[in-house]
Structure 1
Amino acid sequence: MGVTKADLRATILATRRASPPHEHDAEAHALVTHLATLVSDARTVCAYVPVGSEPGSTELVDALYRRGVRVLLPVARHDAAGVPLPLQWGEYRPAGLVDARFGLREPGPPWLAAEAIAEASMILVPALAVDRTGTRLGRGAGFYDRSLRLAAPGARIIAVVRDDELIDELPAEPHDIPMTHALTPRRGLVTLAKPVDKRE
């Protein structure tokens, strides 16, 4: 039996937690240095506030905001049955974040509908890993799987990962929405190959 997604998640999370704070901070700063490449023509960007050992920091969100970019941040909610809903979105304002479930930080209301993701030409997506064909390994809740299908055609969908989390191959499932790019501290923006359609 091969390595499962659960095994991969556990291994990557353990490696992230073992990374010393100074290394995490240096990588977060390096991600910000790639902004000029990212947002040359972007007016609206969907981003997120990293928490815990996730790559990046609020510095990236603040830097986007200072460049005059409209930054939309995700708001995660479940329905009455506990099923994750497509993400809603709130406009970022400095000092306007509130504590939310799962240890997240999110904008306060009012929130925009899930379809607001279609206004973004670039979507930064948290990931544990991504492979060369754009398959993303998330935490398994399914919020982004439900949300990214609403993105505009042609939007850049960018998985933010550490350098060693851009790997050759991950197990893919039919509902996965492929990433178009990866963003890593040392490599910057990496274009990912479109997955081969095995039905052809």
Structure 2
Amino acid sequence: MSTHHPGTRAPAPEDAKAQLRTSIRKARLHRSERRRAELAEQLRDHVLALPEIVQADCVSVYASRTHEPGTLPLIEALHERGVRILVPRLGDGLQRGWSLYQGAEDLIERAPGRPPEPSGEFLPPDAIGDAQVVVVPALAVDSTGTRLGQGGGWYDRALEGLDPRVPIVALTFAAEFRGPDELALPRESHDVGVHRVITPEGTTALTA
């Protein structure tokens, strides 16, 4: 039954997104470090099983912060295979770009609240064009490929010019994926859809 009342309006997409971000971030705080590590290993195994990953020699992967779906086991596994890994990086004047992963000891949190970053050569935004798969963070994903990001729009801008044949893979926790029978996420014109969502439980192809 509808919960809409005459004279009321549904929240604007940006307001609805802000509310969702707050609730999801709060929920993520309740996982223990041990549990986060277990889930990161499960995510790693699902990503490594993707056919496109098996064949790739260059992949872009975000370096996860504490309560995000963990990527460090995945990054290290790809590195051990000899895959080039593009990690998001802030340059001078907060210019957005990439750097190549060179080892776990090289990933450093350079400012409070920022994701860990490599220290190697700063690569421009269009370096993402070398990636054959792009793994992105998400607070939530729905069955149409809509991704709820952190709110800065960084990945949406980075992915705009990406070859449409390159799969964009979002990582979330199971409760953060909304299936076809659930309410869709708010989506704005600048939001770039994803092709697959991977949770610790498995992989789902989407209609981005």
| TM-score over 0.5 (shorter chain) | yes
Separation (CA, whole Å) in 2 of partners of 1:74 and 1:162: 21
Give the % identical residues.
Answer: 35
TM-score, structure 2 as length reference = 0.84
The offset of 1:32, in angstroms, is 1.4
The offset of 1:36, in angstroms, is 3.2
- Structure 1 gaps, min length 5: 195-200
1:171 is aligned to 2:186: yes
Moved over 4 A (4+): none
SS in 2 for 1:151: coil
The offset of 1:152, in angstroms, is 2.1
1:21 is aligned to 2:26: no
SS in 2 for 1:88: strand
- Structure 1 or 2, whichever has the larger Rg, is 2
Cα distance 1:28–1:2, how it changes in 2: closer, same or farther (>3 A)? farther
- Asked whether the equivalents of residues 130 and 161 of structure 1 are also in contact (C-alpha less than 8 Å), the reply is yes
- Asked whether the equivalents of residues 5 and 137 of structure 1 are also in contact (C-alpha less than 8 Å), the reply is yes
For residue 110 of structure 2, the aligned residue among 100, 104, 124 is 100
For residue 149 of structure 1, the aligned residue among 160, 177, 194 is 160
The offset of 1:145, in angstroms, is 1.2
1:91 is aligned to 2:100: yes
Question: Which residue number corresponds to residue 197 of structure 1?
Answer: none
Cα distance 1:77–1:173, how it changes in 2: closer, same or farther (>3 A)? farther
- Asked whether the equivalents of residues 120 and 151 of structure 1 are also in contact (C-alpha less than 8 Å), the reply is no
The offset of 1:45, in angstroms, is 0.3
TM alignment of 1:121-140, pairs within 5 A = 121-140=132-151
- Structure 2 gaps, min length 5: 1-8
SS in 1 for 2:168: strand
Separation (CA, whole Å) in 2 of partners of 1:137 and 1:5: 7
TM-score, structure 1 as length reference = 0.87
Separation (CA, whole Å) in 2 of partners of 1:179 and 1:58: 21
SS in 1 for 2:98: strand
- Report the residue type matching 1:98 in the other structure: I
- Asked whether the equivalents of residues 44 and 69 of structure 1 are also in contact (C-alpha less than 8 Å), the reply is yes
SS in 1 for 2:78: helix
What do you get for the CA RMSD once the two structures are aligned?
A: 1.7
Q: Deviations over 1:169-196 (max 9, x none)?
A: 1000001111111111112x211023xx
SS in 2 for 1:13: helix
Separation (CA, whole Å) in 2 of partners of 1:57 and 1:109: 19
